[in-house]
């Protein structure tokens, strides 16, 4: 067991259930292809880290994915409760620094995750801000339940409200580089991830011809 832990939240890759906002423009099959590629990027970003990983699936554990790592199903009514329960499990297991990421970031790499863990040596909380006003990474060196309760999930003021609450609780926070996740067609076509992936472009073109 390592001192630090990386938690990855993954949606089960099923047609019609992933990247639903993106699917409105490029269809369910196109969104399926995009999300499948993003999950591969997340797997690559975490694969070289020599620390423990826990994979939390949205609906059902997929044994054929993510190697021999600890796997579970997310537990909770909303995203906040699901993240809170995952952090709670990690701290109860004895981990001292925990970083949680999603699986829809085209630009994430192992350095972002390492920096998140390193930041927890100087602060109780670390965030990787997303361009849409949320965050792609959250790290804690102790459980702070208030972060996850009554927050505007998927809204542009999520990180701002969370930071204000942490300030009122007198908790030290470090923020990392801002990255963009892919939720809309505009996000997709603006990303180097898409521009540099000719196979993905061809698949989406074929699906929408």
pLDDT at residue 209 is higher than 80: no
Interacting residues of 105 by C-beta distance below 8 A, sequence separation 6+: 38, 41, 42, 136, 179, 181, 182
Q: Tens digit of pLDDT for each residue in 36-77?
A: 999 999 999 998 899 999 999 999 998 888 888 999 999 999
Instruction: Tell me the pLDDT band of 16, cut-offs 50, 70 and 90.
Output: confident
Angle of the 198-208 helix axis to the 20-47 helix axis, nearest 10: 160
What is the DSSP secondary structure assignment for residue 69, as one 8-state letter?
S
pLDDT digits (tens, 9 = 90+) for 84-121: 999 999 999 999 999 999 998 999 999 999 999 999 99
Whether pTM > 0.75 for this model: the answer is: yes
Fold classification of 4-202 is: Spore Coat Polysaccharide Biosynthesis Protein SpsA; Chain A (3.90.550)
Select the more confidently predicted residue: 171 or 182.
171
């Amino acid at each position: 067991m390592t001192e630090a832990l990386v938690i990855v939240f993954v949606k089960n890759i099923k047609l019609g259930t992933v990247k639903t906002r993106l699917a409105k423009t490029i269809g369910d099959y196109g969104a399926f292809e995009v999300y499948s590629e993003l999950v591969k990027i997340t797997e690559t970003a975490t694969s070289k880290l020599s620390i423990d990983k826990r994979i939390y699936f949205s609906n059902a554990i997929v044994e054929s994915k993510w190697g021999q790592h600890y796997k579970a199903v997310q537990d909770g009514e909303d995203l906040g409760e699901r993240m809170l329960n995952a952090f709670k499990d990690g701290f109860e297991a004895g981990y001292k620094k925990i970083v949680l990421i999603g699986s829809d970031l085209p630009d994430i790499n192992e350095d972002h995750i390492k920096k998140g863990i390193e930041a927890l040596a100087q602060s109780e909380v670390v965030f990787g801000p997303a361009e849409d006003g949320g965050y792609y990474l959250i790290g804690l060196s102790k459980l702070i339940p208030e972060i996850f309760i009554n927050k505007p999930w998927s809204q542009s003021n999520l990180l701002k409200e969370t930071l204000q609450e942490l300030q009122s609780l007198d908790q030290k926070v470090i923020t990392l580089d801002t990255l963009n996740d892919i939720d809309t067609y505009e996000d997709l076509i603006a990303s180097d991830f898409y521009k540099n992936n000719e196979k993905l472009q061809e698949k989406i073109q074929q699906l929408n011809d």
